[in-house]
Amino acid sequence: MTTPGTVPSYRELMERTDAPPGSSWGIFGKDDDLGTLNFLTPEHRIRASELVRSGQTHSLDLPLDAFPQPLISHRGALQHTVFGLNEFHRDDRIDSLFPQATSQIDGLRHFGHPDYGFYNGADPQKLVAGDPTLGVQRYAEHGLAGRGVLLDVGRYLEHAGDPIDYTEPRSVPPSVLDETARHQGVSIEPGDILMLRFGWLGHRLHQMKEGSPAANGSAAGVPLVSVGLEQSHETAAWLWDHRVALAAADNVALEVWPSTESRLSVLADTQGTLPVSSHTGMLHRILIPLLGLAIGELWQLDELAAACVADGRYECMVVAAPLRLPGGVGSPSNAVAIR
C-alpha cells in the first residue's frame, strides 16, 4: 500500500508515461476509488481526536433549503412534504433533492477529463445509478474524519490591505494560501481536511437577506461569479504535494468562477473537438479525474472562523458523513468541526 510519504510529487506525476501525465492513477492500486482520501489513515484520525479540547461543535452545513433559487440552474430547489397517517403521527418525503445544491462533497464520478476520462480509468458505462464504481458511497464506507485546518483567506487579505471584491471573479494563487498559513501560525500536514474561507458564502447569504437581485444569480439574469482558487498546475501541485485528503471552501466551486481567465486547457479544447462550455478551463478537470481529490463546496465556515480567531487555534477535528448512496455523484457534506 502506498503511504503519504512515498507517493510521487506532482512534478513526477507530470512526467509519467505509464498513465496520463499529471495523474495519480494506479498510485493507490489499479482498482482504487478513494483517491486522496487514502491519505486519511487511522493514524490521522487518532491524531485528530487529540485536538478536541472544549468539545464545542460547529456545523459546517447550510440548511438544505438555503437557496430557494438554485445557484446552478440545473439543480432545482427541493420540495419537502410532511404528512401523517393519523393525528398522532408524522412522516415526510423530499422530492427534487439535488445532493450538490448546498453544502456538498463531490464524488469521483462528478468530473471526467476530456482527454483521458474518469479517475483511474473507470469505465464511463458503469457510472450509472446503482453501480458502485467511483460512487460517493465509498467515502461514507471509508469514513471521513480527520484533522481539519482552516485557512481564513478572506480575513487575511483584508488584514493585508487587499480585501476581496465579491462582485468580481477573483483568482487566489497558492502563494496566498502559504501567506495565510504563516499569518495564522498553522501548517498543512498529510491527510488534512483543508477548509478555505473566502467569505463568499457569508456575502451571498447577506445579499439574500437584503433581497438583492444578485443573490438569485442566473434566476435574476445576473451571472454567477465567485472568488476561488487559481486555475493552474501550481494550484494542483500545492494541493497534491501537501497530501490534502479533502479540500473544501465556502464558495460555489472551490476554484474561481467562471473559468474565463483560466490558464488550463486540454487537447480536446485546443483541437476544437469539444465545444466551449462553462467547464472549459476548470481546475475540476485535473483535481477530480486525474488526482482523485475529494472536494467540498459551499461549506459554512463563518462560525468556525470566528471561534478560531477568538482563541488563535486554526486546527480541529472534522467529521463528515456523506450519503451511503451506491453510485452517487455527490452528497450533502453533513460535516461538523469539533474543537
> What is the share, in percent, of the chain residues with pLDDT greater than 90?
90
- Binned at pLDDT 50, 70 and 90, residue 77 comes out as confident
In single-letter form, the type of residue at position 31 comes to D
pLDDT, tens digit, for every residue of 256-289?
999 999 989 999 999 989 999 999 999 999 999 9
The pLDDT assigned to 45 comes to 97
Query: Is 70 exceeded by the pLDDT of residue 220?
Result: no
Helix (H, G, I), strand (E, B) or coil at 63: coil
Q: What is the CA radius of gyration of the chain?
A: 20
Query: Is 70 exceeded by the pLDDT of residue 219?
Result: no
Maximum C-alpha span of the chain: 67
Q: How far out from the chain centre does Cα 82 lie?
A: 31
Grid cell, residue 108, equals 469521483
Q: List domains and CATH numbers for the chain.
A: 10-338 (3.50.30.50)
Kindly give, in sequence order, each residue whose CB lies less than 8 Å from that of residue 92, ignoring residues fewer than 6 positions away.
80, 81, 82, 83
Cα–Cα distance between 327 and 127 in angstroms, integer? Answer: 7
Q: What mean pLDDT is predicted for residues 70-78?
A: 86
The pLDDT assigned to 133 comes to 97
pLDDT, tens digit, for every residue of 314-331?
999 999 999 999 999 999
Grid cell, residue 158, equals 483584508
Residue in the structure block whose three cell numbers are 451571498 = 204
Grid cell, residue 98, equals 439535488
The pLDDT assigned to 212 comes to 77
Query: Is 70 exceeded by the pLDDT of residue 4?
Result: no
Cα–Cα distance between 339 and 148 in angstroms, integer? Answer: 10
Q: E strands within the chain?
A: 57-59, 79-83, 91-95, 104-106, 144-151, 171-172, 193-196, 228-229, 246-249, 294-297, 315-320, 330-332, 335-338
Cα–Cα distance between 230 and 254 in angstroms, integer? Answer: 9
pTM for the model: 0.95
Cα–Cα distance between 59 and 319 in angstroms, integer? Answer: 10
